[in-house]
Amino acid sequence: MNSNSKPTALVTGASSGIGKAIAKRLIEDGYHVYVAARSIDRMQDLASLGAVPLRMDISNEDEITAAVRTITGQSGGVDVLVNNAGFGLYGPVEEITIDEARYQFEVNLFGAARLTQLLLPAMRARRSGTIVNITSMGGKIYTVLGAWYHATKHALEGWSDSLRLELEPFGIRVVVVEPGQIETGFGDAASRGLVERSGDGPYGARARKVAKSMDEAYGHCKGSDPRVIADVVSKAVRSARPMTRYAAGKYAKPMIWVRKWLGDRMFDRLIKSQM
């Protein structure tokens, strides 16, 4: 789509972790890559590799539309969209405010949906393109005190499946990638917020146990390198017929399998035993 004839990609949440690794891999694969996040400074390493950094808070309509205007003006649109931006909100349903829950949905679901809406017309006109939605093994399983986070990831899974069917006639592929435990700082941020919010309330004992289990899981047991997910995305976008979803990274495949076949009560016991 762009003037230098390279295929074009946009990766959101590219300032760290999985998003940064995906952006680096797509640059290596020969894409003209736009990278988006709230902090331009944290994407300067990607700029030095040839990426074009864009400031974009995925929950901000004005910043989303401004980024799309820049991309369409310079490149006509994108061949690959990687919706990666997201975060994990942990805490009791009773204690998380509805405004906080709405913001979790704005970042993890509605921001990706709005960005997709704005970039689809150019893809549809060309009758080609790939949309990769980074969900989580958390879109197939659940954990204690993670109701709002899991709700967004389950929603993104279902949204992606329906989107895949409606875009198929236009030659546009929709792929879901479900990371497991990845070294991204996710656990530290989620556990810290959980203790700050609920450590001393009526759910305090459980909140502290969940936070401790997160710290142990992400501190003592290293997760997979983010490049594992970058490799999966690279494989999917280069494939003539990609799979509809890929589970990758530590624990992803076994946890999704166990959830599917054990049933609710057995899975409940498994999750509680991790505390």
Q: Is residue 211 part of a domain?
A: no
Which tens digits make up the pLDDT trace of 20-50?
999 999 999 999 999 999 999 999 999 999 9
Concerning whether 246 is annotated as a catalytic residue, the answer is no
- Give the tens place of pLDDT for each residue, 55-113: 999 999 999 999 999 999 999 999 999 999 999 999 999 999 999 999 999 999 999 99
Q: Where are the alpha helices (DSSP H) in 59-185?
A: 61-75, 98-105, 111-126, 147-167
Residue 233 lies in a domain: yes
Residue 117 located in a structural domain:
yes
- The crossing angle, in degrees rounded to 10, of helices 98-105 and 147-167 is 30
In-domain check, residue 99: yes
Give the span between the Cα atoms of 136 and 13, in whole angstroms: 15
Residue from 31, 34, 149, 218 carrying the catalytic annotation: 149
φ/ψ region of 76 (left if φ > 0, alpha if ψ in -120 to 50, else beta) reads: left
Residue 218 domain-assigned (yes or no): no
- pLDDT tens for 172-192 read 999 999 999 999 776 666 777
Q: Give the CATH number of the domain where residue 153 resides.
A: 3.40.50.720
Q: How many domains, in total, are found in the chain?
A: 1
Instruction: Report, as an integer, the average pLDDT of 107-133.
Output: 98
For residue 218, the model assigns a pLDDT of: 67
Domain residues for the domain of 23 are 8-185+225-273
